[in-house]
Amino acid sequence: MINYNKKAFQPVSNTANAQTSAATIFHYQQQGNILSGTYSGGAIKAGQLLGVVNTDGTLYFFYHQLDEAMQLHSGYCKSVPEILADGRIRLHEEWQWTSGDNSNGKSIIEEIKQ
């Protein structure tokens, strides 16, 4: 199983309806198969996520965030990992808003080596 504990990620691509950008940094924590995280940057003032890590490393989580206008948004996401040649993790995400227009989208985020 992939261990996401204390790893940081940054978006490298998004569909147009995403609020995250390359300025958004995600900080993940993992205990057993429980994933939690915080994120901020760009249009996101503050965000949190909570979910599970499957044995193949796939993530399922719910998220909520405050944007620059202090509007609260929420959704859920499935993230499928890919291990890059340099050992970093790339996550292929499919998500859907549970607030606003309930649209869905895709993002790719990559591990930031610290």
For residue 71, what pLDDT band results from cuts at 50, 70 and 90? very high
- Angstrom distance (rounded) from CA 55 to CA 30: 13
Question: Residue 59 pLDDT more than 80?
Answer: yes
- Structural domain contains residue 1: no
Check residue 3 and give left, alpha or beta (phi > 0: left; psi -120 to 50: alpha).
beta
Domain that includes residue 78, residue range:
7-112
| DSSP at 113 | P
What domain count does the chain have? 1
Give the pLDDT confidence score for residue 1 in this predicted structure.
78
What mean pLDDT is reported for the chain?
96
Question: Does residue 78 form part of some domain?
Answer: yes
Write the CATH number for 45: 2.40.128.30
Q: In whole angstroms, what is the distance from residue 29 CA to residue 38 CA?
A: 9
CA angle 79, 11, 32 (to 5 degrees): 40
pLDDT tier, 79 (very low <50, low <70, confident <90, very high otherwise): very high
Does any domain span residue 64?
yes
CA distance 86 to 88: 6
Q: What is the pLDDT of residues 36-50, one digit of tens each?
A: 999 999 999 999 999
